[in-house]
Amino acid sequence: MSFITRGFSGRSRERDERLPPGQTLVHDFPVLSAGPTPEVDTEEWEFSIITETGGEHRWNWDEFMALEIEEVETDIHCVTHWSKLGTRWRGVSLDTLFADVETQYDFVMAHSYGGYTTNVPLEELLDGKAWIAFEFDGEPLDPEHGGPARLIVPHLYFWKSAKWVRGLVMQGDDEPGFWEQNGYHLHGDPWKEERYW
Ligand SMILES: Nc1nc2c(c(=O)[nH]1)N[C@H]1C(S)=C(S)[C@@H](COP(=O)(O)O)O[C@H]1N2
Ligand SMILES: [Mo]
């Protein structure tokens, strides 16, 4: 892999171009959790995708680790106005996970250990736009940041990136998840400032 980090030490104009409107750069990694950190060890961890026919695709930790693993370098943007540039992750692409999934439904509800949910259109998860990540910055993902594994959907506000993710359920309608029921935008594009509704 290459270690070219754009932005950090780059010219400030490039940095500014990577910051969506209303965002401020941080260099630490804030923790934002709506509740306590669930304890999930990899022995009991499972991840599933459930379709409208009840069809279920399920992976335990070992099966998951046997999938194609990708390195991802990306900027992340929280609706509370912080952004972090050039974050490095390892994980499995949603394209890989959806390869054998047959569904007519266009929406996904992500479910986490601990009960958190968030809704995302399926097309926002495919074509190299989302991963289930288990490493951050070369280390196993910290429990407080969603370890053992979390969803990352970096082109949407970071509340869509469900920590401690345990599964995705296909949905016919774009029903609101946890924060969306509490006033956050259904979609959450940081470049359009889709913060609240
Ligand atoms: N399960 C779960 N996932 C979650 C949250 C949460 O409270 N629970 N918070 C969301 C919000 S609002 C943000 S900004 C990011 C924060 O991730 P971090 O704590 O790793 O910075 O996780 C998102 N995913
Ligand atoms: Mo957030």
- C-alpha distances out from residue 8 to 23, 78, 158, Å: 16, 18, 20
Evaluate whether residue 10 is within a structural domain: no
Q: 82's torsion region: left (phi>0), alpha (psi -120 to 50) or beta?
A: beta
Are 85 and 7 within 8 A, CB to CB?
A: yes
Q: Whose CA is nearest to atom 20 of ligand 1?
A: 145
Mutate which of 26, 28, 29, 33 for ligand 1 pocket (most atoms within 8 A of beta carbon): 33
E-strand ranges in the chain read: 24-25, 46-50, 56-60, 70-77, 82-93, 107-112, 117-121, 131-136, 139-140, 150-152, 165-171
Cα–Cα distance, 56 to 189 (Å, whole number): 30
> How far does the centroid of ligand 2 lie from the alpha carbon of residue 79, in Å?
5
101 in any annotated domain: yes
**26 belongs to a structural domain:** no
Range of 144's domain?
55-192
The tally of domains found in the chain comes to 1
Q: Please, is 44 exposed, middle or buried when counting C-beta atoms within 10 Å of its C-beta (0-12, 13-18, 19+)?
A: exposed
Residue 108, domain CATH: 3.90.420.10
66 lines ligand 1 (CB under 6 A): no
In a domain, 181, yes or no: yes
Quick check: is 177 in a domain?
Answer: yes
Residue 49 lies in a domain: no
Inside any domain, residue 36: no
22 in any annotated domain: no
Residue with the nearest Cα to atom 5 of ligand 1?
33
Q: Is residue 132 in contact with ligand 1, taking CB distance under 6 Å?
A: no
pLDDT values of the chain reduced to their tens digit, one per residue, 197 residues = 444 445 455 557 888 899 999 999 999 999 999 999 999 999 999 999 999 999 999 999 999 999 999 999 999 999 999 999 999 999 999 999 999 999 999 999 999 999 999 999 999 999 999 999 999 999 999 999 999 999 999 999 999 999 999 999 999 999 999 999 999 999 999 999 999 98
Q: What is the pLDDT of residue 102?
A: 97
Atom of ligand 1 nearest to the CA of 144: 19
